[in-house]
Amino acid sequence: MSAIYLHIPFCKQICHYCNFYATASTKYRKGFVEALLQEMDLRHDYLEDKTISSIYFGGGTPSLLSTTDINALIDKIQHSYDVADDVEITLEGNPDDLTEDPIKALKNETPINRLSMGVQSFFSDDLQYLNRVHDGKQARQSIEFALKHGLFHMTIDLIYGIPTLTEEKWLENLEIFFSYGLPHLSSYALTVEPKTALDVLIAKKKMAAVDENQSIRHFEMLLEQTKAHNYIHYEISNFALSDQYSRHNSMYWLGGHYVGFGPSAHSYNGYSRQWNVSNMKAYMEADIAEKVVAEKEVLSKNQTYNEYVMTSLRTSWGCDMVHVNHVFGSAYVKHFESHIHSFVEEGKCRKEGNTYLLTDYGKRFADGIAGEVFLNVEG
């Protein structure tokens, strides 16, 4: 099973923390869907006839697309690929776009069957800190409209570690989420990436700085609360009721193949990774035959091992030594086990059968632990 990702880079305004490829300019809106359709033709063979089990409209803000555009893109995929009957089709959207009529139209006029809503917080002061377009009331209304019109297969994003977000407010955000009975939550720590507006504003002391201890406390509360409400913590930032995992993201984490269309979109077919140019002008104005692949790398064995370690340790499926032995060989198992040993002793990892998993305590150190068991990428 494989996946298709479509990057829709347009946003009404740029959030202070945004580190994705997104633009508030409308200059290239006209003609963008046509360019995506052309790119699909150009790179049709990338996935080598694999069945598509997930289609994902990400961004940017895909909820800015019209239903006509959404249907044109899905029709193209349906005609160009072998698409599974139960394909998961996710659209990311923001509460300011997802008012009642657009939600009704998505439900009744398109095959979208999963919504990913960028709520981030139900409090307007947190949303102002982040420079989001919507407010707390719109966030609630949007979820309620989606539930009212039968789009139950929904996930929302919540951000913790915002300086304006007290522990009481964070708990209330989680309680509001639980009250809707939604099957899935993605929750991320606010990170200040270099050169973002937030980075600049904090440096100029125009906005409060992010406190790492506050983020850690919020993360602990997140784990406690989701566990108490029976959500499975199946990836560092993702929680699901029963088995209602995100099929699309799970495919990334389990090493599945995917092709990405649109500026900055990434693709992976098992042995090489490539990514499109992160520039609308270049994407839209380049000759069709040249427009897409900005860079391509063929992964070395060590890089493939590193990627497996990085993603698997972040999931509830863990890092499986039988898999490592089968795919990479016994020397890799030996390397992994000799380097993970100290983390097991510190209570950050545990071993179940042949699999290593992060403990709740270890989850906050996930990237650092993975880094310690990496191998030199040249190998």
Please identify which residue in the block is written with the tokens 């989850």: 363
Site for ligand SF4 in 137-176 (CB under 6 A): none
Written as one letter, the residue type at 31 is: G
Report how far residue 137's alpha carbon sits from residue 118's, in angstroms, rounded to the nearest whole number: 14
Q: Would you give the binding string for ligand SF4 spanning residues 85-104, x where CB under 6 A is met? A: ---------x----------
Among 4, 6, 8, 15, binds ligand SF4 (CB under 6 A): 15
Q: Does 22 bind ligand SF4 (CB under 6 A)?
A: yes
Strands 2-8 and 257-261: parallel
Distance in angstroms between the alpha carbons of the first and the last residue of the chain:
29
Residues 60-79 that bind ligand SF4 (CB under 6 A): 60-61
Binding-residue total with ligand SF4 (CB under 6 A): 11
Nearer to ligand SF4, 61 or 306 (CB): 61
Nearer to ligand SF4, 14 or 241 (CB): 14
CB nearer to ligand SF4: give 118 or 260: 118
The least distance separating ligand SF4 from the CB of residue 21, rounded to whole angstroms, comes to 8
Q: What are the φ/ψ torsions at residue 5 (nearest 5 degrees)?
A: -115, 135
Based on CB atoms, which residue is closest to ligand SF4, 237 or 315?
237
Q: Using CA atoms, how far apart are residues 87 and 95, in angstroms rounded to an integer?
A: 25
The residue whose two tokens read 């900005």 is 294
Count of beta carbons in the 10 Å neighbourhood of residue 185: 23
In the complex with ligand SF4, the residue whose CB is nearer, 94 or 187, is: 94
CA Rg value for the chain: 21
Look-up of token digits 């347009």: 10
- Out of 4, 8, 59, 87, point to the residue binding ligand SF4 (CB under 6 A): 59
- Where does this chain touch ligand SF4 (CB under 6 A) — which range of 7-15, 79-87, 238-246, 264-272? 7-15
| Helix, strand, or coil (residue 335) | helix
Stretch that binds ligand SF4, among 38-46, 56-64, 71-79, 95-103 (CB under 6 A): 56-64
- ∠ CA 161-12-127 to the nearest 5 degrees? 25
Kind plus residue range of the DSSP H or E element containing 121: none
Q: Give me the residues that bind ligand SF4 (CB under 6 A), please.
A: 11, 14-15, 18, 20, 22, 59-61, 94, 118
